[in-house]
Structure formats: C-alpha cells, structure tokens
C-alpha cells in the first residue's frame, strides 16, 4: 500500500472510528459516574466519628485498590448474564455497561482517597485546597478514557475494537500498523492537551494557596 | 408514591413472575418473540463469513434460514467465535448455535447437541510446502498456531507432544502463521481447504491425513435437552439428510464432497419393508441406536480424583477441573508461572526505563533529552493495549518481510515498561525539582537515583502496582498467561464460575504479594535513612 492508499483508507474509515471513540468517552463517563458516587460514600464514611465505619471504608477502599481492572473486566463479562429477567421483561445487560462497572472499581478507590482528603480540607476551611479535587478528578477521567480501550477484549465496539473490524474488512495486513497508530493519535490528541490544561489549572490554583499542597498522583 | 411495604410486595411479585416465565420453554419464547437468534461464525469461509455488505452468509447461515422458515419466525444471525459460542448459548444471547461445533462428549455435558449431526470435519495442519513430512509424529516438539477453544487442542498436544501457541481468533492465528511465528497452523481440514484457495497460501500445503474426525452438531441450551426445540431441530436435520439439502448446500458452497454426508444421506433415506424410514423417532422420542453416533454411548475410565471431582459437580454444580484434571491443572499452573514471570519482567523493566529515562531527561542533552521527553509523553498518553497491538501486529506485519517476528512476551514487557517507566521517570524528575530547592546543583545521575527514588517512592510504587495489574493484557496477544489459560479452560469445560473466581483470587494474591514486597522495601529504606 502506498502512502496515498493508507491516507485514503484512514480518511474513509474516520467517521466509523470516531463513532468508536464516542463509546470510549461514554463508557468512561459512566464509569466515572458510578465510581464517584460509590467513592463519595466511602469518602464520607472515612470522616465518620465511629471507628467501625472508618475501618469498613478503609477495607473497602483497599479492596478496590487491589482488584486488577483488566481481570475484573473478564470476571464481569463471564459472570453477569447478557439478559436479566425482571417481572417478565427481559432487560439487556450490555457489554459496555460491564466495562463501565469494571473501570468504576478503580474510580471508587481514587475518589475515596482524594475526596476524603478534599472534604477534610473543606471542613478546616481550606476551601482552595479542597477544590484541587476537581482538576485531579478530570486528570483521572483521562486515565480512565485510555483504560476504556481494554473494553475491546469483551466485545464493546469502541475505537480499538473498530480498528480490528476495519482491518478485517479491508483485508490488507499492511494497513494494521497505520490504523493502530492512527487510533493512538486519537487518544493522544484527546488526553495530552487536557492533561496539560489540568496541570496549568493546578499550578494556577496552588499559587493562590498559602502553602504548597502535596501532589495528588492518580494511581 | 406508594407506601414502602406495598412497593416491596410489588417488587416481590415481579420477581416471582420473572421466575415463572423463566421456566417457559425456549420454543415458546422464540414464537412469542417472533424471531430466532442463531449464532454463526463470520470468519470461517465458506461455512460462515461476511459478504461485501457485511451480512452473514455461508453454509451455516443457509441452514439457519431454513430453520427459521420451519419455525415461521424471523431470523437474527448473531456472530460468534470459537471461544465465545458456548458461553453465548449458556447466557441466552442466542437460541440456537450453528457454528462448526464439533460433537464431543464434553460439550454434550454443557450444551444440548442436536441429533443427528449435520456435517463432519477433522483436524489437519497447514505447513510450508518446503516442509516434507509423511507422518504426524514428525511434528513432535514443533510450534503450531491454533485457536482458543478448539476441541483438538488438548488431544493433539497430548498425543503428538506439539507445542501450541493459542490465539483468540482465526484472524490472529492466521496472521501469526503468515508472519512465521509458528511452524504450522493447526486447524480444521475443511477450513484449511477453504483458506488455501486464497493466493497468499500458494506456498503452503496440507500433506498429512486428517485426524480425529468429528461430526458437527447444532446446539441449544442444556436445559432444553429432549424438549420441543430439540425435537423440532432434530427432525429438521434428519429431513436435510433425507432430502439431500445438505449435499446440495455442499455443492453450492463449492466444498469437496464429504464421505460423511454421502453416508448420512443413504442412512437416513433408508426405508424398511413397510416403506417407513428406518431412522425414525421411537416411542420415547429418541432415534434408533443404529442411526446414532457411536461416540454418544462411549465412556472412558476415570481416576479416583476425577471421580471425586465429578461427584462434587453433581452435588454442587461446580466443575473443579482445575483440581482433578491434570491437563487443566498443568495449564493453569503454567499460566500462573507465565504471569509471575511477566510481573517480574515488567516491574524490573519499568524501574530500569524509569531510572534511565530520568537520568537522560535531567542530563539536558539537547536532542536526546527532548526525544526521551517526547517518548515518555507518548508512553503515558496512549493506551498500553494499543501500544502492544502496534508492536506485535503492526510492526510484526512489517518485520515479517525479513523473516523477523517480535516475541509477544517481550513486546508486552516492552510496552508495559514504557507505560509505567514513563510515569516513573516523570515522578523522579519532579522529585529532583523538589531536591533542587535545597541543593541547586542536584542532578539525577545513576549514583543519585536512589535519593530521588526515596522522595518519589509513592507515585513510583503506584505506577508499578498498576502495571502488575495490567499484565493481563498479554492475553490479547496470545501470551499463555493466567487469563488466556482460564478462558481457554472455560471454552472447553463451560465452568466460568469456578475459573473466573480462581483467576480473580490468583491475581488478587499476586497484587497483594507485590504490594507487600514494596512495603518491605519501604521499611528497609526508612531504616536505612535512620542509620
């Protein structure tokens, strides 16, 4: 394939691939929503006055830290049925939701750690430091967008899965390298500028702080 | 708003209704729905493939179409693969499976295989034409590419001591063969014959006789065995044999005439003196013994441990093949060892890349430091799974021209090390920035790496633990690690509950051990600082 053939093939398939990337974003947003909700519960539990509540939250948070998302993805894919029957109605349990649930586990741990810290600061009227949670959360969202590419292995039609579809449909193995690189470019162009922006926001925010807060690194 | 107890009662009733309707048989469900979902293959020409418009066509979609005509419902063709087809059937996303499924004793235990069988194939190997072999035993110790979940994987390994490289799908196994990752491609004879029509396989041949001839069966869910749907499809297949429909389809799709279909056509058309079919259902609904496949009555000797395992399965429904079956147990343990090796390689690789990267970044050598910075940014801002695909399949297809193929294990180690190593390098340089606040002349050089590491300990360990969790991605490129072997066992045994929990526990412990080891390292560093 000449450079021109490659460019043409990439151009023709771009709308299809873009549709896949929308799935990456949707799966990630859903994972962030579920994870933030449950993580917030754990974070508030950590600030409780009752020692048992705090300990329960710490154990649960530790658990979410030890569960490998990629393995959990397979776990859910195999063990949650495709359709769930409720009141005579069949409700589909789509693969993308399973992917969101698996990714949400990592988000729970992240939110539990970071939000409890932010809440603590808020209560001690250190509001500016507490708001640091927002850029941290956004940076973590980008980590999850990249991780959402693994949803392809359980059959979610996101960007990477669609790359495989295109390779199969075009039937030219020479295209493989270029199409995977093209998909990488998509992720890079989405994540890199936003990460830079969030770093900018954090620097700007920490300048307004009386003291330097320790860097919160998403894990 | 209804009061809480009333709402609870309502939900309870809804659940009960759900349970009751779940007991209704599949045939009624299909008729009520007005559509039948049939699982067919999409990459197995000419049995199941996609046409130019992306529609499923082939020998098996034709059978599915005839079935839906008999059921008088609409037809939904659902693409399945060798690895997921029985899973899809068990979870109910398809009603009927017509997907080159070999009729084996084990599969009969996890799904209802319709009698009679509709086709037969054997296993064979595609080899470069230059390779002259006359007997299967000459392949001993050779590396052959194959696909996960194929019925012949295990017996062929055991009988001929082959070294199998197991891929997720036909496409990957095929590419691996073409790129020269293996000596030959172990596959179905019918499929190899179909493939060899393509010009890309001009220099390849199928010199050995087919082995393990296996009839193919249509499958439905296990609980439907002996039910209406089972009977209806069985009658349809018998009719296909009698009318010559299958022989006709074989011709239509340009397959070599198979002895199996000739024989079945004669057998099922045979009539007794009264003009009735010899092969007709008896009073109990089963076919006469002489028309049934002999394998259906076969049983094999079992060891003591196996007997206990089977007893547990009868009592609890849990199939612990992992414990009682030596083949599955060996596979799983080998997978565990491969995963541990991957973990060690990736942690060391990431640490090394992180340290080297930080030294180069901090050295501020014009071009080199820039380049390292750019690599680290790309490494962190693109998904590791895609990086792995780029190296294994993308670069692999380029280097194959010179007869070179990247080793999948090394490729995964490299990509994951790049991903985590980039994060480590960035953490080290940030630590260096902090150190410079007190010691303006501080530079990261090999000697001062430990100092920066102490400051950057937490983010670095977080990145390394993350990469340990991500080692499972190696399963996407057929590295025989824990996930690959677990899904492989599920494809053969149909025991996802046992295998997925075993996998989860194994990985959980692996991560825990790594975290513990880092904890020890931390304590040692702190003690060292105090000393």
Of residues A212 and A197, more confidently modeled? A197
DSSP B287: P
Q: What is the mean pLDDT of residues A187-195?
A: 93
pLDDT at position A146 is 93
Residues of chain B positioned with their CB less than 8 A from the CB of A187: 381-383, 386
Of residues B373 and B306, more confidently modeled? B373
pLDDT at position B5 is 55
Say what the alpha-carbon torsion angle B241, B244, B250, B252 is, to the nearest 10 degrees.
-150
Q: What is the mean pLDDT of residues B458-462?
A: 91
DSSP B395: I
CB atoms within 10 A of CB B382: 25
Q: A202 Cβ partners below 8 Å, 6+ apart?
A: A132, A135, A136
- By the 8 A CB rule, do B327 and B158 touch? yes
SS3 assignment, position B95: coil
Q: What is the mean pLDDT of residues A107-133?
A: 91
Residue A126 predicted with pLDDT over 60: yes
- Short-list B83, B85, B108, B107, CA closest to B38: B85
Q: What is the mean pLDDT of residues B474-500?
A: 86
pLDDT digits (tens, 9 = 90+) for A34-86: 999 999 999 999 999 999 999 999 999 999 988 999 999 999 998 887 777 77
Say what the alpha-carbon torsion angle A166, A169, A175, A180 is, to the nearest 10 degrees.
20
Beta bridge partners of A64: none
* Angstrom distance (rounded) from CA B250 to CA B252: 6
pLDDT at position B303 is 65
Q: What HEC string does B494-511 produce? A: CCHHHHHHHHHHHHHHHH
Q: B85 Cβ partners below 8 Å, 6+ apart?
A: B39, B97, B99, B101, B149
Residues of chain A positioned with their CB less than 8 A from the CB of B485: none
Q: B132 Cβ partners below 8 Å, 6+ apart?
A: B207
Beta bridge partners of B49: B43, B57
* Angstrom distance (rounded) from CA A113 to CA B98: 50
Strands B96-97 and B35-41: parallel
Classify residue B53 as exposed, middle or buried by CB count within 10 Å of its CB (0-12, 13-18, 19+): exposed
CB atoms within 10 A of CB A179: 25
Q: What is the mean pLDDT of residues B281-299?
A: 68
Residue B253 predicted with pLDDT over 80: yes
Residues of chain A positioned with their CB less than 8 A from the CB of B398: 174, 177
Of residues A55 and B154, more confidently modeled? A55
Output phi, psi for B197, to 5 deg: -70, -20
Interface list for B 171-230 with A (CB within 8 A): 171, 175, 178
Distances (CA, A) of A195 to A143, B41, B370, B378: 10, 42, 19, 12
Residues of chain B positioned with their CB less than 8 A from the CB of A174: 397-398
pLDDT at position B471 is 95
pLDDT at position B136 is 84
> In the structure encoding, which two tokens stand for residue A102, read together?
């698996």
A90 alpha-carbon distance from chain centroid: 29
What ipTM score was computed for the predicted complex, to two decimals? 0.89
Q: B73 Cβ partners below 8 Å, 6+ apart?
A: B30, B31, B33, B34, B35, B36
Q: How many CA atoms lie within 13 A of B138 on its CB side?
A: 11
Per-residue buried b or exposed e for B252-281, using 16+ beta carbons within 10 Å of the residue's own CB: ebebeebebbeebbeebeeeeeeeeeebee
pLDDT at position B18 is 42
Residue B152 pLDDT level (bands cut at 50, 70, 90): confident
Question: Is residue B333 less than 8 Å (CB to CB) from chain A?
Answer: no
Minimum mean pLDDT among A3-7, A90-94, B98-102, B425-429: which range?
A90-94
* Angstrom distance (rounded) from CA B472 to CA B480: 10
Residue B54 pLDDT level (bands cut at 50, 70, 90): confident
Q: Nearest residue of A to residue B87 by CA position?
A: A78
pLDDT at position B346 is 97
CB atoms within 10 A of CB B224: 21
- The dihedral through the CA atoms of B278, B280, B281, B282 has a sign that is negative
Q: What is the mean pLDDT of residues B10-34?
A: 64
Output phi, psi for B37, to 5 deg: -100, 115
Residue B382 predicted with pLDDT over 90: yes
- Short-list B365, B472, B386, B373, CA closest to B422: B373
Distance to chain B for A219, nearest Cα, Å: 5
Residue B16 predicted with pLDDT over 80: no
Q: What is the pTM of this model?
A: 0.68
Q: How many CA atoms lie within 13 A of A132 on its CB side?
A: 28
Output phi, psi for A127, to 5 deg: -60, -40
Q: What is the mean pLDDT of residues B3-28?
A: 55
SS3 assignment, position A18: helix
Residue B491 predicted with pLDDT over 80: no
pLDDT digits (tens, 9 = 90+) for B75-120: 999 999 888 899 889 888 899 999 999 887 778 888 999 989 999 8
Contact A87 B463 (CB under 8 A): no
Residue B287 predicted with pLDDT over 90: no
Q: What is the share, in percent, of chain B residues with pLDDT greater than 70?
A: 92
Residue with tokens 């940030």: B430
Residue with tokens 């394998």: B295
SS3 assignment, position A158: coil
Distance to chain A for B111, nearest Cα, Å: 16
Contact A66 B511 (CB under 8 A): yes
Output phi, psi for B48, to 5 deg: -150, 120
Q: What is the mean pLDDT of residues A139-167?
A: 91
* Angstrom distance (rounded) from CA B225 to CA B237: 16
Residue B7 pLDDT level (bands cut at 50, 70, 90): low
- Short-list B507, B491, B457, CA closest to B342: B507
Residue B336 predicted with pLDDT over 70: yes
> What's the alpha-carbon Rg for chain B, to the nearest Å?
29
DSSP B225: T
Which of A91-95, B308-312, B378-382, B405-409 holds the top average pLDDT? B378-382
Q: What is the mean pLDDT of residues A102-122?
A: 94
- By the 8 A CB rule, do A163 and A23 touch? no
Per-residue buried b or exposed e for A34-63, using 16+ beta carbons within 10 Å of the residue's own CB: bbbebbbbbbebbeeeeeeeeeebeebbee
Q: Nearest residue of A to residue B474 by CA position?
A: A70
pLDDT at position B3 is 47
Q: What is the mean pLDDT of residues B338-342?
A: 96
* Angstrom distance (rounded) from CA A106 to CA A70: 10
Contact A160 B386 (CB under 8 A): yes
- By the 8 A CB rule, do A209 and A129 touch? yes
* Angstrom distance (rounded) from CA B212 to CA B491: 19
Q: Ramachandran region of residue B2, left (φ > 0), alpha (ψ -120 to 50) or beta?
A: beta
Minimum mean pLDDT among A15-19, B110-114, B477-481: which range?
B477-481
Contact A192 B381 (CB under 8 A): yes
Q: Nearest residue of A to residue B396 by CA position?
A: A177
pLDDT at position B301 is 46
- Short-list B80, B83, B11, B82, CA closest to B39: B80
- Short-list B453, B464, B466, CA closest to B522: B453
Q: What is the mean pLDDT of residues B308-321?
A: 75
The partner residue sitting opposite A87, judged by closest CB among B14, B512, B515, is B14
Residue B260 pLDDT level (bands cut at 50, 70, 90): confident
Contact B382 A188 (CB under 8 A): yes
Residue B515 predicted with pLDDT over 70: yes
Q: Where are the strands (E) in B61-183, listed by range?
A: 74-80, 96-97, 111-113, 119-128, 143-147, 163-167
* Angstrom distance (rounded) from CA A127 to CA A111: 18
> In the structure encoding, which two tokens stand for residue B336, read together?
């565990």
Residues of chain A positioned with their CB less than 8 A from the CB of B490: 78
* Angstrom distance (rounded) from CA B498 to CA B457: 37
Residue A211 pLDDT level (bands cut at 50, 70, 90): low
Residue B302 pLDDT level (bands cut at 50, 70, 90): low
* Angstrom distance (rounded) from CA A210 to CA A206: 8
Q: What is the mean pLDDT of chain B?
A: 85
Give me the domains of chain B, ranges plus CATH numbers. Answer: 24-117+217-300 (3.40.190.10), 120-214 (3.40.190.10), 324-530 (1.10.3720.10)
Q: What is the mean pLDDT of residues B474-481?
A: 89
pLDDT digits (tens, 9 = 90+) for B231-245: 999 999 999 999 999
Output phi, psi for A17, to 5 deg: -70, -40
Q: Nearest residue of B to residue A166 by CA position?
A: B54
pLDDT digits (tens, 9 = 90+) for B156-180: 887 777 888 888 777 788 888 888 8
Give me the domains of chain A, ranges plus CATH numbers. Answer: 3-207 (1.10.3720.10)
């Amino acid at each position: 394939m000449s450079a021109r053939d490659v460019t043409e093939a990439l151009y023709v398939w771009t709308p299809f691939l873009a549709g896949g990337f929308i799935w990456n974003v949707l799966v990630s947003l859903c994972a962030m929503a579920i994870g933030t909700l449950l993580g917030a519960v754990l974070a508030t539990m950590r600030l409780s006055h009752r020692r048992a509540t705090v300990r329960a939250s710490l154990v649960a948070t530790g658990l979410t830290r030890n569960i490998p998302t990629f393995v959990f993805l397979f776990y859910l894919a195999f063990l949650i049925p495709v359709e769930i029957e409720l009141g005579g109605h069949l409700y589909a349990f789509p693969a993308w939701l399973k992917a969101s649930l698996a990714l949400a586990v990592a988000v729970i741990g992240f939110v539990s750690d970071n939000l409890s810290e932010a809440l603590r600061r808020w209560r001690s009227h250190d509001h500016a430091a507490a708001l640091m949670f927002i850029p941290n959360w956004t940076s973590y969202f980008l980590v999850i967008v990249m991780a959402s590419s693994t949803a392809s292995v359980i059959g979610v039609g996101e960007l990477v899965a669609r790359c495989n579809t295109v390779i199969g449909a075009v039937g030219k193995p020479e295209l493989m390298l270029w199409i995977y690189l093209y998909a990488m470019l998509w992720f890079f162009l989405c994540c890199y500028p936003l990460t830079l922006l969030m770093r900018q926001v954090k620097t700007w925010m920490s300048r307004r702080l009386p003291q330097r807060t320790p860097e919160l690194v998403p894990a | 708003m209804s009061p809480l107890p009333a709402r609870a009662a309502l939900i309870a009733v809804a659940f009960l209704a759900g349970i009751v309707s779940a007991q209704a048989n599949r045939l009624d469900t299909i008729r009520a729905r007005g559509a039948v979902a049939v699982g067919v293959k999409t990459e197995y020409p000419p049995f199941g493939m996609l046409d130019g418009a992306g529609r499923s066509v082939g020998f098996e979609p034709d059978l599915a179409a005839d079935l839906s005509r008999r059921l008088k419902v609409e037809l939904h063709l659902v693409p399945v693969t060798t690895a997921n087809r029985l899973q899809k059937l068990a979870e109910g996303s398809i009603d009927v499976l017509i997907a080159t499924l070999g009729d084996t004793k084990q599969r009969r235990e996890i799904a209802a295989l319709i009698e009679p069988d509709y086709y037969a194939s054997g296993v064979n190997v595609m080899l470069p034409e230059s390779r002259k072999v006359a007997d299967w035993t000459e392949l001993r110790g050779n590396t052959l590419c194959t696909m996960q979940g194929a019925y012949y994987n295990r017996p062929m390994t055991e009988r001929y001591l082959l070294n199998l490289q197991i891929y997720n799908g036909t496409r990957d196994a095929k590419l691996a063969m073409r790129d020269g990752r293996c000596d030959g491609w172990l596959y179905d004879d019918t499929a190899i014959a179909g493939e060899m029509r393509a010009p890309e396989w001009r220099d390849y041949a199928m010199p050995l006789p087919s082995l393990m001839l296996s009839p193919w069966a249509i499958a439905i869910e296990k609980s439907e065995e002996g039910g209406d749907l089972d009977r209806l499809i069985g009658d349809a297949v018998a009719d296909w044999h009698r009318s010559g429909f299958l022989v006709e389809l074989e011709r239509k799709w340009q397959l070599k005439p198979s002895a199996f279909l000739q024989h079945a056509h004669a057998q099922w058309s045979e009539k007794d003196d009264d003009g009735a079919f010899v092969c007709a259902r008896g009073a109990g609904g089963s076919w006469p013994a002489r028309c049934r496949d002999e394998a259906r009555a076969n049983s094999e000797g079992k060891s003591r441990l196996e007997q206990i395992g089977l007893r547990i399965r009868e009592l609890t429904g849990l199939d612990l093949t992992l414990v009682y079956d030596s083949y599955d147990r060996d596979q799983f343990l080998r997978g565990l060892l491969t995963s541990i090796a991957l973990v060690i390689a990736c942690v060391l690789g990431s640490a090394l890349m992180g340290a080297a990267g930080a030294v180069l970044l901090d050295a501020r050598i014009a071009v080199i430091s820039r380049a390292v910075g750019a690599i680290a940014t790309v490494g962190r801002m693109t998904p590791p799974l895609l990086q792995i695909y780029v190296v294994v399949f993308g670069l692999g297809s380029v280097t194959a021209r010179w007869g070179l193929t990247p080793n999948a294990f090394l490729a995964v180690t490299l990509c994951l090390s790049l991903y985590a190593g980039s994060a480590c390098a960035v953490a080290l340089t940030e630590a260096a920035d902090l150190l410079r606040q007190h010691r303006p002349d501080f530079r990261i050089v090999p000697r001062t790496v430990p100092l920066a590491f102490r400051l950057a300990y937490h983010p670095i360990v977080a990145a390394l633990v993350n990469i340990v969790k991500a080692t499972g991605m190696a399963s996407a490129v057929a590295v025989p690690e824990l996930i690959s072997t677990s899904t492989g066992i599920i494809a053969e045994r149909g025991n996802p509950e046992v295998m997925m929990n075993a996998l989860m526990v194994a990985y959980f412990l692996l991560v825990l051990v790594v975290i513990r080891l880092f904890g020890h390292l931390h304590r040692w560093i702190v003690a060292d600082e105090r000393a």
